[in-house]
Amino acid sequence: MAEQKRDYYEVLGVDRGADDATIKKAYRKLAKQYHPDSNPGDAEAEKKFKEASEAYAILSDAEKRSQYDQFGHAAFEQGGPGGGPGGFDFSGMDFGDMFGDIFEGFFGGGSRRQQYNGPMKGANLRAGVRITFEEAVFGCEKELEIVLKDECKTCNATGAKPGTSPETCTKCGGKGKVVFTQQSLFGTVQNVQACPDCGGKGKIIKEKCTDCRGTGYVASKKRIKVTIPAGIDNGQSVRIRDKGEPGTNGGPRGDLLVEVTVSRHPIFQRQDMNIYSTANISFAQAALGGEARIPTVDGDIIYEVKPGTQTDTRIRLKGKGVPSLRNKNVRGDHYVTLVVSVPTTLSTEAKEALRAFDAVSGNTLKSETEGKTEKKKKGFFGKKED
């Protein structure tokens, strides 16, 4: 059973009427307390940091906050008013980049990765894949060829030439950062920056490995299998864990995010979990009723058309739509608009049959013809009498 999300206001410890400044101040406090750089290896702190970042991402945005106040967490779930076709996916967000200005205040400027030489997770990689409409509905497997970096076996990822080792940076003492003081209007201020000599790594390689050129990694093309889940929509991404860039200083690899592009279908259109299409029926089928063959993603079905069906009549095929991403056994519906086809060419026999039909069902052809003939005759004789 999925874990129940806490109320975002409760997460930040603010009232529902809190202003933007109060919300930002509360988030800064929590982010500083639970930031992974301050709590290396602490899974609980990382969880609380992400929870606070998620809450701030919503409550700091006026539109999203309004949706949350009205609908709660459901606003950003699949099909919710704020989530669009695929819902609001927090898993793909890099909160470190989103709130860079806040982290600069914590660590004295510069990026996070340059401020800490402990274990750091690798960057995420992005790739794209195109699939058909049916593959999006039922799911599929695709194989991608991407360039991945792996640890250099020659130097065991140290970047140093075999027989040598990286040396501790003398400028920062292996810390990866240096502190310098500066006078300001408020007195003496201490700033922290990445060490310029070692680039924040804390180590200096004097003799580089020739295979990896001192990076510790070698790149190669690899084929990766991607499982596309049933019900995925155009523009959504599939996350493949640990297939991104290698981590630094023993950190885990990043992830591979595969964005899905769904090709247009010549017949079907999609909106959320529902499918829409049109189907032609003959005049005889519309008037008398009968069986009509209608295409669906599950194959053609036979539908019983009711007598007297008018053009643009919409019918619902329950459970013939798109599966839910969360439960593939739950599917949307397929709505079909019936259009009565008018033949453009008729045989002599067909024309006679239609005239006979018209004669017994309103005589519209004869009455219109007679009316026109009568008007023409009156005009003719009226002209002659003058």
| Confidence (pLDDT) at 117 | 55
The CATH code of the domain at 1-107 is: 1.10.287.110
Rama region for 88: left / alpha / beta (φ>0; ψ in -120 to 50; rest) = beta
pLDDT at 199 (0 to 100): 77
Residue 314 identity: R
Please check whether the two domains, 120-158+216-264 and 269-340, share a CATH topology.
yes
Domain 269-340 maps to which CATH number in 2.60.260.20, 1.10.1200.10, 3.90.380.10, 2.40.50.140? 2.60.260.20
> In the prediction, which pLDDT does 133 show?
97
Check residue 232 and give its pLDDT: 95
Tokens representing residue 37 in the block: 């750089």
Is 320 within 8 Å of 296 (Cβ atoms)?
Answer: yes
Structure confidence at residue 380 (pLDDT): 47
Buried-state track 137-150, b at ≥16 Cβ within 10 A, e below 16: bbbbebebeeebbe
What local confidence, expressed as pLDDT, does residue 361 receive?
81
Residues with pLDDT less than 50, the chain: 1, 84-116, 369, 380, 384-386
pTM of the model: 0.57
> CA 111, CA 198: separation in Å to the nearest integer?
15
In CATH, 120-158+216-264 is 3.40.50.300: no
Strand locations in 110-255 (E): 125-131, 140-151, 167-168, 177-184, 187-194, 203-204, 217-228, 237-240
pLDDT of the residue at 188: 67
d(CA 215, CA 365): 87
Domain boundaries, the chain: 1-107, 120-158+216-264, 269-340, 348-385
- Which residue do the tokens 């619902």 mark? 316
